[in-house]
Structure 1
Amino acid sequence: MNDKELDTAFKKAVDSINAHQKPFPADVLLRLYAYYKRATSDAHPTPSSKPLISAFKTNALFQTKGMTTREAKLKYIEAVNTYFLYRK
């Protein structure tokens, strides 16, 4: 997959998550959060008013440390596809 195809697939995956109306399990959200932050080169935790949530976000980002933008996009797409595949 070339860079343009990857960007298109990533945007489609992000859009499908944003359009989804039902709640996601916390582990899925944290994984998607970390992959998205790495994929968009914004690897700083989004502030939360709840310290525990901030800690989970920081931990999720830590687990993706060293991941390239390309790897993060591929992992995000894979996670989205897997989630929707098993939810049918």
Structure 2
Amino acid sequence: MVSKLSQKNNIDLDTEYKAAFDKISKLKEAVAPDIMLKFYAYYKQANFGNKFSFNNGSDLRTGFKFNAWMQLNGMTTEEAKREYIELAKEF
């Protein structure tokens, strides 16, 4: 059974995560490719967890994105959301 405090914390985390995602989605400034890969990987892990899928016919850019996501294998979705939020605070 999930406690009410745990449910409240998850709602707060989801709200903060969505706000961070909106903030980064609306950025006008250029962000370094390695930082964008981190955002991508945290986003995928936060939303899909370890449910990896990759098309072997994909381009090099897609391969880099997939590799960044796979490096987070085993990270919980909650932890990925927290990491995304922390990274977004730098912008």
Short-chain TM bin = 0.7 to 0.9
TM-score (norm 1): 0.81
For structure 2, the residue ranges without an aligned partner over 5 or more in a row are 1-7
**In structure 2, what is the Cα distance between the partners aligned to 1:3 and 1:16?**
20
For structure 1, the residue ranges without an aligned partner over 5 or more in a row are none
Bigger helix fraction: 1
- Identical positions, percent: 40
Bigger Rg over Cα: 2
RMSD: 2.2
1:16 aligns with 2:18: no
Higher RCO (C-alpha 8 Å, min separation 6) = 2
Tell me which residue corresponds to 1:78.
86
Aligned residue-pair number: 82
Partner of 1:3, secondary structure, is helix
TM-score (norm 2): 0.78
